[in-house]
């Protein structure tokens, strides 16, 4: 048992609130334990210049942590007049993850803007952002579909993400901040509904890790992602019906 009472293969308590804001076509507050991220999706009827005239759409993401999301105030990026490296890496990851389950031709020449703003950080913010953003994306696409029905629904599957790590007690799933900051090895596992990997980000923080340990981490990551996707399916209910699985 971990200090918060969870088993090694147990995710934190998950909660999703859809329609959390008024103006975005899709908006979800995702809570994983004490980590809380507001994920919104807004659709523009245009694409970046490199896609103009191609008939294809685009999905892109921005990520930020609010100043009060951490124990000590985090300066806004605007104060430095540049986006910090961590935020750049994470928002690119979110965009890649969502595009992996999109039919961009079916989307047409539209851009879906995903914004993930961390309200409260307690580990796993990028993973929570991906999972929450997927639900916001579904809601945004459904809002567009009601006004201008798609010939082919643009979503071709599900995506979710979860963290895993090796602590003193062994491999554990869904790290909070205390666990993440003290793990010997940590990894983010992004998967689709088929159990295929979209991206793996693994690091030996205090020591290298073995193939056997990697196998254990991947098994935990798969379990965690399937648990998350089952929760998402329950959350979406009948809205899940048009996705091309």
Our CA dihedral for 125, 131, 133, 134, rounded to 10 degrees, sits at 170
| 35 phi and psi angles, rounded to 5 deg | -85, 130
Whether residue 72 is annotated as binding a ligand: the answer is no
Residue 144 neighbours by CB under 8 Å, 6+ apart: 25, 43, 110, 150
Whether residue 60 is annotated as binding a ligand: the answer is no
Whether residue 131 is annotated as binding a ligand: the answer is no
- DSSP for 14-70 reads EEEEES-SSSSSEEEEEEETTEEEEEEEEEES---GGGTTSS--EEEEEEEE-GGGS
Whether residue 108 is annotated as binding a ligand: the answer is no
Q: How far apart are CA 41 and CA 172, in angstroms?
A: 31
Q: Is 11 helix (H, G, I), strand (E, B) or coil?
A: coil
- DSSP for 144-160 reads HHHHS--SS-SB-S-EE
Q: How far apart are CA 238 and CA 240, in angstroms?
A: 5
Q: Are strands 26-32 and 14-18 parallel, antiparallel or unpaired?
A: antiparallel
Annotated binding site: 86, 124-126
Annotated binding site for phosphate: 86, 124-126
């Amino acid at each position: 048992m971990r200090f918060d009472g969870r088993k090694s293969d147990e995710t934190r308590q998950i909660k999703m609130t859809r329609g959390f804001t008024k103006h975005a076509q899709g908006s979800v507050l995702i809570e994983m334990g004490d980590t809380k991220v507001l994920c919104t999706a807004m659709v523009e009827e245009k694409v970046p210049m490199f896609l103009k005239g191609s008939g294809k759409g685009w999905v892109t993401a921005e990520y930020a942590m609010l100043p009060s999301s951490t124990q000590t105030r985090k300066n806004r990026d605007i104060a430095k007049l540049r986006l910090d490296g961590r935020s750049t890496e994470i928002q690119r990851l979110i965009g890649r993850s969502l595009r992996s389950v999109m039919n961009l031709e079916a989307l047409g020449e539209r851009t879906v803007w995903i914004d993930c703003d961390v309200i409260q950080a307690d580990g796993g913010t990028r993973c929570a952002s991906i999972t929450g953003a997927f639900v916001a994306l579904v809601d945004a696409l459904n809002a567009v579909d009601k006004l201008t029905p798609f010939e082919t629904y643009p979503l071709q599957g599900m995506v979710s993400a979860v963290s895993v790590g090796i602590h003193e007690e062994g491999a554990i799933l869904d790290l909070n901040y205390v666990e993440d900051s003290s793990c010997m090895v940590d990894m983010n596992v992004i998967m689709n509904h088929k159990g295929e990997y979209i991206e793996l980000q693994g690091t030996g923080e205090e020591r290298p890790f073995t193939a056997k340990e990697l196998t254990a981490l991947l098994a935990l990551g798969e379990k965690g992602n399937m648990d998350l996707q089952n929760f998402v399916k329950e959350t979406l209910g009948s809205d899940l019906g048009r996705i091309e699985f």
